[in-house]
Amino acid sequence: MLFKIAWKNIWRNPVRSVILIVAITLGIWALIFINGLTTGMINGYMENAIKNRTSHIQIHSVEYLAEKGIQNYFNTSKVLPTLKKDENVINFSPRISISGMISSPVSTRGINLKGIYPDLENQVSELDSKIIRGEGLKSDLNNPILISITLAEKLNVKIKSKVVVNFQNVDGNVTAAAFRVSGIIQNVNGQNDEINAFVPINNLQKLTDLSQGEVHEIAITTKDIDRVEEFQYTLRSKLPGNLVIQNYKEIAPDLELMGSQIQLSLSIMITIFMLALVFGIINTMLMAVLERYRELGMLMAVGMNKAKVFFMVVLETIFLTFVGVPLGMALGRLTIFGTASRGINLEQWADGLNQVGMTSVIHPALEGKYYLVIALSVLITAVLASLYPARKATSLKPVDALRKL
């Protein structure tokens, strides 16, 4: 009987009840969408960084991590067979990585010169997909080189332009070599990506006097990113002890830091929403109680005890929330589902986003557990907010309430 009375009470003033339901619905929708959008941004940032900066795992020599010199290489003869046999490895790319100076008739700039196997590198970092002008390193040009669009603008060069790169060989002697620009790539990983230049590893081995199989790093992508650390420890037991195996979190601590900062921001936003919801419910239910002051006094006068009056007001709040929560959840889920596949295009801000290593197309995503967390948070908040109006209803005296006009 009490449930029936509480349900009918909330529709005695339908306008006020509908406004509160709409507020709850829109609030939950906003929470879900903001969470989904932020999660999509984090995922995009991490995928971009893993693909272009860190891969899932990288292998270096101990000496190379201490000093990134050309002489601190390692031999892949005992490493590559292990990686080829491991079912957890999807792709891997050996690289030579050295510092140098690149010159054109206009300017000279510092670069990070990477010698790569084009096919293997493309499988790990999708390098060919970043080329916006020209072609890849399989060009017929003599000594082809890929440079970033920013670097090309600073050097004032174009496709087939000649550039000279100075660097040290393995003996410590300065070597100069001429290259032809075979392609220009779009910066996709912030300002650090501007200084990267790519050449075929065979060409760089000849110029640096490094032997076949001598590299500075191997980038690896695995099947399951959630089990990277487990695979990392397994790999350590299989490879020589003079090699350091690092996962993407160790290589780029900023990835985990950014994720934690954004999650903190989300927690603050959820807290602000809950506080707003608390005051909205208190205001609405307090008005409902004061409007029915005489009626509540009559109910108490004919035998309804204070506990039932208290529970009735709480029930009214719960019923309003039960109507708003499913509507907000459904609206939020539809929004996430509708934008997840095609993404939200922020192309007009692409340059700025690329500078901080983020993609211009964001695919909102939200795990199922977050829907439950939001729903429970709203329900708990609604119940807590109803306690004051319910307490106010039980504090009245039946005689005074009946005399009230």
Q: Could you report the per-residue pLDDT of 222-272, keeping only the tens digit for each?
A: 988 888 888 888 888 888 888 999 998 888 877 777 767 777 777 787 788
* CB-CB contact of 184 with 149 (8 Å): yes
pLDDT at residue 218 is higher than 90: yes
Domain that includes residue 184, residue range: 69-215
Query: Which of 55-59, 130-134, 191-195 has the least mean pLDDT?
Result: 191-195
Question: Greater confidence, 81 or 374?
Answer: 81
Provide the total of helices (H) and of strands (E) in the chain, helices listed first.
Answer: 15, 14
Q: Supply the pLDDT for residue 397.
A: 66
The yes-or-no verdict on residue 375 having pLDDT over 50 is: yes
| Contact predicate 95/217, CB 8 Å | yes
Instruction: Taking the CA atoms of 199, 204, 210 and 213 in sequence, report the sign of the dihedral they define.
Output: positive
Query: Which carries the bigger pLDDT value, residue 233 or residue 310?
Result: 233
Confidence of residue 402 (pLDDT cuts 50, 70, 90): low
Residues 94, 189 share a domain:
yes
- For residue 405, the model assigns a pLDDT of 47
* Average pLDDT across the chain, whole number: 83
Mark whether 339 and 397 lie in a shared domain.
Answer: yes
When pLDDT is cut at 50, 70 and 90, the band that residue 95 belongs to is very high
Q: What does the pLDDT read at residue 220?
A: 94
Residues 209 and 334 occupy one common structural domain:
no
Residue 238, in any domain of the structure: no
The total of structural domains in the chain comes to 2
Residue 231 inside a domain? The answer is: no
In a domain, 63, yes or no: no
Of 383, 345, 341, nearest to 361 by C-alpha is: 345
> What is the pLDDT, as a whole number, of residue 188?
62
pLDDT above 90: residue 67: no
Do residues 83 and 41 share a domain? no
Same-domain status, 273 and 179: no
**Would the pLDDT of 286 be above 80?**
no
Q: Is 372 within the bounds of a domain?
A: yes
* Residue 268 sits in the same domain as residue 375: yes
pLDDT digits (tens, 9 = 90+) for 29-38: 988 888 888 8
* 40/73 same-domain check: no
The pTM for the full model equals 0.74
CA 174/CA 167 separation, integer angstroms: 6
SS3 66: helix
At 197, the pLDDT band (50, 70, 90 cuts) reads very high
Cβ atoms of 187 and 150 closer than 8 Å: yes
What integer is the mean pLDDT of 57-79? 90
Looking only at the bridges linking them, the beta strands covering 89-103 and 162-168 are antiparallel
Residues 202 and 78 in one domain: yes
Angle at 305 between CA 300 and CA 310, to 5 degrees: 95
CA angle, residues 46, 47, 52, in degrees to nearest 5: 100
110 and 189 in a single domain? The answer is: yes
Q: Is residue 64 part of a domain?
A: no
* Same domain flag for 44 and 78: no
- b vs e for 88-123, b when ≥16 Cβ sit within 10 Å of the residue's Cβ? bbebbbbbbbbebebbbeeeebebbbbbbbbebbbe
**Is residue 375 assigned to a domain?**
yes
Partners of 351 in the β-ladder: none
Q: Residue 245 to residues 82, 257, 396: CA-CA distances in angstroms?
A: 14, 21, 71
Alpha helices in 292-305 (DSSP H): 293-301
Check: CB of residue 109 under 8 Å from CB of residue 154: yes
Regarding whether 203 and 82 lie in a shared domain, the answer is yes
Cα 286 to Cα 298: distance, rounded to the nearest angstrom: 18
